[in-house]
Structure 1
Amino acid sequence: MTAYRFYTATTLDGFIADEHDSLDWLLSQPEPSGGILDYDRFIAGIGAVVLGYTTYQWVLDHPEAQGDGPSSWPYEQPTFVFTHRELDPAASNIRLLSGAPEAYRERLEAAADGRDVWIVGGGDLATQFADAGMVDEIDVSIAPVTLGAGRPLFKGRYDLELEEFGRSGAFLEARYRVAGRRQ
């Protein structure tokens, strides 16, 4: 069964980007390896990738952060960008979507072909997916840095159940199951 996973990193004070949408705070950290949220293990189970426009544009503007060539799209999986903008997709596996995530559930799961859907970000999009009942797990690496302001990790009010935790380099790692909406 396809699971929807919000796999991301955050600062200790709960921001995934600063107020200028920069991830310099993350890129300046020693790169973690192994751990419970090992990227290679994670990505092997991903069948489709979902992102919002701001995250999509950041990936395009910062290819050096992906470790690939300067013009390559880093995801081989079918990729869906939720946006209201008219864009020319950067790769042939990218599709543009507009509207509520639940309207595309069947399409996303068909594209994932029995594997999981990765909600790359941002926090607003992850919250929209959660509001639609489409976030099963939140996998978060917590960096030893604070920003004081920026783009929050998550905007919704949800109860989470800690499934697993660990450490990878300087990062604290936690895997949560989404238990339900908090009243």
Structure 2
Amino acid sequence: MNKERSLTVFIAASLDGYIATKDESLEWLFKVEGEGDNGYSEFYETVDTILMGKRTYDWVMEQEGGEFPYKNKDCYVFTRSAAEDTANVKFINGDDIKGFTNTLKNQEGKRIWMVGGGDVLQHFFTEKLVDELIITVAPVVLGNGIPLFKEGDYQLDLRLKGTRTFNQFVELHYISER
């Protein structure tokens, strides 16, 4: 039997646990002095499938001027509304996110990267679909915004796999203890 693929949340957060401001800005993140790309390229090479919510997809497309940045990966976008697939993205409209994700995890391949955003992440945490969390913490306190972990009826039991620093950033790497 094949080993199940790992589903990994690789994300940056403020020291107080926000992934963006209330108006979905990441400007605060880019003001922090990092080191190179803060481990992004290294992580990206371990991934062949990308998952994200529609709001995150729209944000990425706006930031990239309409040019999709993950062309060499399988990309699935979860949405509640009708959307037409593109050459680079398959839109998943349905309630069975867990079943879809488990099907992906049981296929051969590299890591699956759950990019975000907050609503989809909450669903993945609640359904215990996340195998690894790699959180790059920025030395910024936002006070409010879009939280990495929303209040809910779930508990994640994690084990620290390692830490790294990238100048002012600290990377925390956790493995799920399901």
TM over 0.5: yes
Q: Does 1:46 align with 2:50?
A: no
2:148 partner amino acid: L
Q: 1: distance between equivalents of 2:67 and 2:105?
A: 25
How much has 1:105 moved relative to structure 2? 2.6
2:81 is aligned to 85
How much has 1:103 moved relative to structure 2? 2.0
Question: What runs of 5+ residues in structure 2 fail to find an aligned partner?
Answer: none
Judge which range, 125-134 or 141-150, deviates more.
Answer: 125-134
How much has 1:124 moved relative to structure 2? 2.5
User: What TM-score, normalized to structure 2?
Assistant: 0.86
1:19 to 18, 22, 27: 22
2:62 partner amino acid: D
2:159 is aligned to 161
Q: Is the 8 A contact 1:137 1:177 kept in 2?
A: yes
How much has 1:97 moved relative to structure 2? 0.8
Question: Structure 1 residues 100, 149: closer, same or farther in 2, change over 3 A?
Answer: farther
User: What TM-score, normalized to structure 1?
Assistant: 0.84
Between the two proteins, the alignment pairs up a number of residues equal to 170
Identity among equivalent positions (%) equals 30
Q: Does 1:115 align with 2:113?
A: no
1:149 is aligned to 144
Post-superposition Cα deviations, 1:63-122, rounded to whole Å, max 9, x if no partner, equal 1xxxxxx43210021111111122345x41201112232120354337x74211000001
Q: Does 1:5 align with 2:1?
A: no
2:122 is aligned to 127
